[in-house]
C-alpha cells in the first residue's frame, strides 16, 4: 500500500493505492485482509475491508492484478461508494464487462 502518490501534474490524487493479487479467490480475500491489517481496521476480514473502503472520505485506488480467471465474479470484490477507483489488469477479455469508464488493450507484453 502506498500513501499519497503523485500524479503526472504533481498533485496528490489518491490517499492510498492498494495492490491486490486477483489471480484466485484466496488471493483476493488475502489482499483485502492485508488492507484491513495495514489500515488497522477493527473488522479484519474481506467484508470489513470492503465496508471500510466504501465509507472512508479519502480517494483511493485499488489495482486488482492478474484477474484472468473467467469463473471468478470480480464485481463481488468491488467496494461500493464513490471515493474509490478500481483498475483491473487481465488477459481475459470477458472482464471488460466491469468497465464503466473505458478499457485499454495492450498487445505484445509477454517476454
DSSP H or E run through 68: none
Which one, of 35, 30, 28, 59, lies nearest residue 49 by Cα? 35
Higher-pLDDT residue of 102, 50: 50
pTM for the predicted model, two decimal places: 0.76
Tell me the mean pLDDT in the region 33-59: 96
Reported as a single tens digit per residue, the pLDDT across 58-91 is 999 999 999 989 899 999 999 998 899 898 888 8
Cβ neighbours of residue 48 under 8 Å, at least 6 residues apart?
36, 41, 42
84: helix, strand or coil: strand
Amino acid at each position: 500500500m502506498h500513501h499519497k502518490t503523485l500524479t503526472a501534474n504533481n498533485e496528490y490524487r489518491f490517499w492510498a493505492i492498494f495492490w491486490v493479487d486477483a489471480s484466485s479467490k484466496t488471493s483476493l480475500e488475502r489482499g483485502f485482509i492485508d488492507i484491513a491489517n495495514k489500515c488497522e481496521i477493527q473488522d479484519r476480514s474481506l467484508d470489513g475491508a470492503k465496508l471500510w473502503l466504501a465509507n472512508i472520505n479519502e480517494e483511493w485506488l485499488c489495482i486488482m492484478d492478474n484477474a484472468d480467471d473467467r469463473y471468478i465474479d470480480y464485481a463481488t470484490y468491488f467496494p461500493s461508494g464513490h471515493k474509490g477507483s478500481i483498475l483491473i489488469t487481465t488477459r481475459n477479455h470477458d472482464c471488460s464487462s466491469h468497465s464503466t469508464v473505458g478499457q485499454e488493450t495492450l498487445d505484445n507484453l509477454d517476454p
